[in-house]
Structure 1
Amino acid sequence: MDLVEVIPDRLHTLRFPIGQAYLWRDGADLTLIDAGHAGSADAIEGAIRSLGLLPERLERIVVTHCHGDHFGSAGELSARWGAPVLAHALDAPVIRGDRPVPEPVLLDWELPLWEHAMTVPQAPATPVEQELTDGEVLPFGGGAVVVHAPGHTPGSIGIHLPAHGVLFTGDCIAGVGQVILGVFNVDRARAVESMLRLAALAPSVACFGHGDPLTSDTAAILLAAAETAAAAQPSPTPAG
């Protein structure tokens, strides 16, 4: 796992072989956005300690959606340090193991990527202490706003920190080489709508579930990418 600074004394990326998580810092208090795949807890703890921070100050683990590369180690970290796991109400039953992971509708070019993604260790059932709703404000980052962004999964969310101009997009948007609509969506049309909604927030820093964070010309690049994704959607067939 690689640890990469995004904003000094505020934000780091925890980069795994597949996917990544983010560590947000309010002084000594810590928030983890996603938690990597199962088996990552030791690496995450080590990264926190390497920054001179205490994992005991982990206040919460916010899961952007119910895929194993995003919540796989959340339960172990929660058990170690008592940090509650938060997720949207529509994805929480999947994370708890009460429902299966929703099947994506794969495009042909996504098939080899999906096979690679399936090499991630299976995530264990994980307790979710708090179910989130759209517009809810969480007590970190000067007020972190939950943005329901369905399409990748039904309960996918973004987390917006207006006070800092930071947006965590989960897998709704990806930054792999270029900014694009995320892959493996259960409902591509809704995912595009969510991408447009997230882009409209016009952040100065965008943190993706896959790909390097965007820190320059962010608002314009996000909007252009969202408009490109929307233009690529097939037009609805007229009734009658």
Structure 2
Amino acid sequence: MNNCQLLDIEFEHNGQNQIITPVLIQDEQENILVDCGYPNFLPYLEKAVQQKGISFESITKLIVTHHDMDHIGSLAEIKRAYPHITIIAYELEKPYIEGAKTSLRIEQAKSTLGELQDEAKNQAEQFIRFLASIEPAPVDQTVINDECLPWCGGIQIVHTPGHMPGHISLYLPSSKTLIAGDAVVLEHGKLNIANPQFTMDMEAAVSSVRRLLDFEIERIICYHGGLFHGNVRQALQDLVREYKS
């Protein structure tokens, strides 16, 4: 996995210690960042990249897996500070990232307001305001399902809907590595569906996991949980079986 660096970023959010794992994919010409954390995370990212012996100025591209707040929160800040970085996203995601369409998470949260009691409703409204405050950012290049980007030994775009309709994962055939985004998460050493209560289409999410079985994957990197250690194929099969039963 020598062309793939995990950037484990530890921080406190809502009073809890959390870790996210953006990824840096590299070759002689390219330093490609995958996802970029919450708003105001640029200093965290700069430090994490520097610890790998790389200047953030050398980042050439930033691929976004989907438009959740913890994946695009710092996108506009990064583009402002480093305008040379090419922002890449799946075609369905572009209008949400650029602000032409309302975030699907906002729509989802609004749909629950009528069912909530006062305290929970206040929390949901606060969450909606936070989501609405995330600054839109321009998408310089869109990609489609099964497209193979020519950098770093090839980066295959794998449309993995469910968590969100436009969610993508990235397959690196040269190292048989899957960057999963939120298609799956790693919890207590076990792969699982990311935030089932917030997954927009659970059937599609499970189908996406099933589709990953078509790839020869030796390593899987989850945005939440980091690098999975174990038999990837068996773990994916177990996850599909769990949601079938």
Q: Could you say which TM-score interval applies, normalised by the shorter chain?
A: 0.7 to 0.9
Name the SS for the 2:101 alignment partner. Answer: coil
CA distance in 1, matches of 2:205, 2:171: 17
Amino acid at match of 1:148: H
1:62 aligns to 2:63 (yes or no): yes
Task: Tell me the equivalent position of 1:227.
Answer: 241
Q: Does structure 2 conserve the Cα–Cα contact (< 8 Å) formed by 1:168 and 1:206?
A: yes
CA distance in 1, matches of 2:151, 2:229: 21
Distance change (3 Å), C-alpha of 1:27 and 1:220? farther
CA distance in 1, matches of 2:29, 2:81: 18
Name the SS for the 2:7 alignment partner. Answer: strand
In the TM superposition, residue 99 of structure 1 has moved relative to its aligned partner by 1.1
Q: Does structure 1 conserve the Cα–Cα contact (< 8 Å) formed by 2:4 and 2:23?
A: no
Task: Tell me the equivalent position of 1:217.
Answer: 231
- Number of equivalenced pairs: 219
Task: Tell me the equivalent position of 1:198.
Answer: 212
1:70-85 correspondence runs (5 A)? 70-81=71-82, 82-85=84-87
CA distance in 1, matches of 2:154, 2:29: 17
CA distance in 2, matches of 1:9, 1:160: 13
1:36-115 correspondence runs (5 A)? 36-81=37-82, 82-102=84-104, 103-104=107-108
In the TM superposition, residue 86 of structure 1 has moved relative to its aligned partner by 0.8
CA distance in 2, matches of 1:139, 1:14: 26
CA distance in 2, matches of 1:51, 1:10: 11
Distance change (3 Å), C-alpha of 1:132 and 1:13? same
Distance change (3 Å), C-alpha of 1:145 and 1:87? same
Q: Does structure 2 conserve the Cα–Cα contact (< 8 Å) formed by 1:14 and 1:44?
A: no
Residue number among 174, 191, 197 corresponding to 1:179 in the alignment: 191
Amino acid at match of 1:209: Y
Distance change (3 Å), C-alpha of 1:104 and 1:190? farther
TM-score, reference length from structure 1: 0.81
Give ranges in structure 2 of 5+ residues lacking alignment.
12-17, 112-119
In the TM superposition, residue 95 of structure 1 has moved relative to its aligned partner by 0.8
Task: Tell me the equivalent position of 1:3.
Answer: none
% identical equivalent positions: 25
Name the SS for the 1:32 alignment partner. Answer: strand
Larger helix proportion, structure 1 or 2?
A: 2
Task: Tell me the equivalent position of 2:4.
Answer: 10
Give ranges in structure 1 of 5+ residues lacking alignment.
1-6, 233-240
Distance change (3 Å), C-alpha of 1:146 and 1:34? same
Cα displacement string for residues 153-181 of structure 1 (whole angstroms, at most 9, x for unaligned residues) = 11100100011111011111111222111
Task: Tell me the equivalent position of 1:154.
Answer: 165
Name the SS for the 2:53 alignment partner. Answer: coil
CA RMSD of aligned residues (A): 2.7
Q: Does structure 2 conserve the Cα–Cα contact (< 8 Å) formed by 1:176 and 1:212?
A: no
